[in-house]
């Protein structure tokens, strides 16, 4: 068992200026509560007024010594299989297999042409296509490639990538999640990335999904990632987009805020600037609607709970209304590409 010290409350410190450019922040939201997982306290978000930045952050900022209290009931502890073995799921898996063979060359030699053609059907549903792209970390097949997922949680994505031929390792600072990952037979380390003392130029790929917004010193994290990446290696970062359509609609009820766990929320410009400062070269930056369905349902629940004066909320599964919302967001992204829910940054060393 990995032991963690627990505290009774989350301590914080003032954080008036932008982490990236140093500009004094402006209050955007005040008195936010954690209606998802019941972490204590009320929290404020500031936003950088610099048009070349646009970073958002918590002020006051939770300190490292007590932030673990915000993760007591957090979902990285969980290890559930959401997918039933019904015939629609089986049919979807056939389409997905064909798509992955066509676009990313997974099992390409063994997948028949008819499956690859069926895989083209996924282009008819932008949300499902975004899900499948994310589930392989946007990475083409690379037999024997060495992949590190930083912030791997319970290791579900790592296990999938291992089954697809990658050599995988993971690291996470959530003790319960690390234990769940190890039960899958995965090589996952507990603690910060810096504490692992990986060798220089070691990994072919580094993947971070919804991690950088949780980290007190994201520049330090990215610099360490750059150090351990092989020359020519790729780093893929996924994080909430603070300019998304969902944020514009739901404002302080937007699921992506998630105070006090989300310490920083990035704009496209802010994320690009930070990665370049860490030494990475930007290959591509895309904004997707992958998470729009879940964001919509959770944000609606938070909004209703706030109006009713309730504490924690129960978030239902995405419904037809959420499917429509995701499609609307996808249409809006054709008009303004900044409006998707997730930033996906592709960089290399």
pLDDT in tens, the chain (349 residues): 444 444 468 999 999 999 999 999 999 999 999 988 899 999 999 999 999 999 999 999 999 999 988 988 777 555 555 545 576 778 888 999 999 999 999 987 789 999 999 999 999 999 999 999 999 999 999 988 999 999 998 999 999 999 999 999 999 988 888 999 999 999 999 999 999 999 999 999 999 999 999 999 999 999 999 999 999 999 999 999 999 999 999 999 999 999 999 999 999 999 999 999 999 999 999 999 999 999 999 999 999 887 776 655 666 666 888 999 999 999 999 999 999 999 999 999 9
Show contacts of 219-225: CB within 8 Å, 24+ apart: 219/19, 219/274, 219/277, 219/278, 220/194, 221/150, 221/193, 221/194, 222/274, 222/275, 222/277, 222/278, 222/279, 222/280, 223/278, 223/279, 224/193, 224/194, 225/150, 225/193, 225/278
Question: Is 99 a member of any domain?
Answer: no
- 29 and 153 share one domain: no
Domain that holds residue 61: 12-70
Domain identity same for 63 and 170: no
Is 53 among the domain residues?
A: yes
Q: Classify residue 126: in a domain, yes or no.
A: no
| Residue 267 within any structural domain of the chain | yes
Q: Is residue 285 situated within a structural domain?
A: yes
Q: Which residues pair with 281 in a beta bridge?
A: 348
24 and 162 inside one domain? no
Q: Say yes or no: 55 and 182 in one domain.
A: no
Tell which of 44, 70, 96 closes a domain: 70
> Does 217 map to a domain?
yes
Q: Do 54 and 185 belong to one domain? A: no
Q: Based on the structure, what is the number of domains in the chain?
A: 2
Residues 58 and 186 in one domain: no
Q: Are residues 333 and 193 in the same domain?
A: yes
- Give the integer Cα–Cα distance in Å for 71 and 122: 35
Q: What's the CATH code of the domain at 332?
A: 3.40.50.150
pTM of the entire structure? 0.91
Report yes or no on 342 lying in a domain: yes
Task: Identify whether residues 52 and 177 lie together within a single domain.
Answer: no
d(Cα 35, Cα 251) in Å, to the nearest integer? 15
Domain shared by 152 and 261, yes or no: yes
Last residue of a domain, one of 51, 70, 89: 70
Examine residue 88 and state whether it is found in any structural domain, yes or no. Answer: no
Say whether both 31 and 164 belong to one domain.
Answer: no
The residue among 54, 70, 86 that closes a domain is: 70
């Amino acid at each position: 068992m990995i032991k963690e010290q627990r505290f009774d409350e989350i301590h914080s410190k003032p954080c008036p200026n932008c982490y990236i450019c140093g500009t004094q922040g402006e209050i955007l939201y005040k008195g936010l509560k954690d209606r998802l997982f019941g972490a204590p306290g009320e929290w404020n978000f500031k936003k950088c007024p610099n048009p070349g930045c646009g970073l958002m952050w918590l002020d006051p900022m939770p300190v490292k010594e007590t932030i673990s209290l915000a993760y007591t009931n957090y979902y990285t502890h969980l290890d559930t299989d959401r997918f039933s073995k019904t015939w629609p799921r089986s049919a979807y898996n056939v389409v997905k297999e064909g798509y992955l063979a066509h676009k990313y060359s997974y099992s390409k030699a063994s997948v028949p042409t008819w499956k690859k053609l069926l895989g083209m059907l996924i282009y008819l549903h932008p949300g499902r296509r975004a899900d499948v792209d994310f589930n392989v970390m946007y990475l083409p097949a690379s037999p024997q490639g060495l992949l590190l997922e930083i912030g791997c949680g319970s290791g579900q994505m790592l296990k999938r990538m291992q089954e697809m031929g990658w050599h995988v390792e993971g690291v996470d600072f959530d003790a319960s999640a690390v234990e769940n990952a190890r039960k899958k037979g995965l090589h996952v380390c507990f603690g910060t990335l810096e504490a692992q003392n990986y060798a220089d130029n070691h990994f072919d790929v580094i993947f971070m999904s919804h991690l950088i917004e949780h980290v007190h010193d994201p520049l330090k994290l990215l610099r360490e990632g750059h150090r351990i990446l092989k020359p020519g290696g790729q780093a893929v970062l996924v994080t909430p987009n603070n300019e998304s359509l969902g944020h514009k609609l739901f404002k302080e009820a937007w699921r992506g805020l998630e105070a006090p766990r989300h310490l920083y929320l990035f704009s496209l410009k802010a994320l690009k600037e930070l990665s370049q400062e860490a030494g990475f070269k930007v290959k591509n930056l895309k904004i997707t609607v992958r998470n729009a369905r879940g964001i919509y349902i959770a944000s609606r629940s938070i909004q209703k709970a706030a109006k009713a004066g309730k504490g924690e909320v129960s978030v239902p599964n995405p419904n037809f209304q959420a499917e429509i919302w995701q499609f609307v967001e996808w249409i809006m992204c054709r008009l303004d590409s900044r409006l998707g829910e997730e930033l996906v940054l592709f960089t290399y060393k």
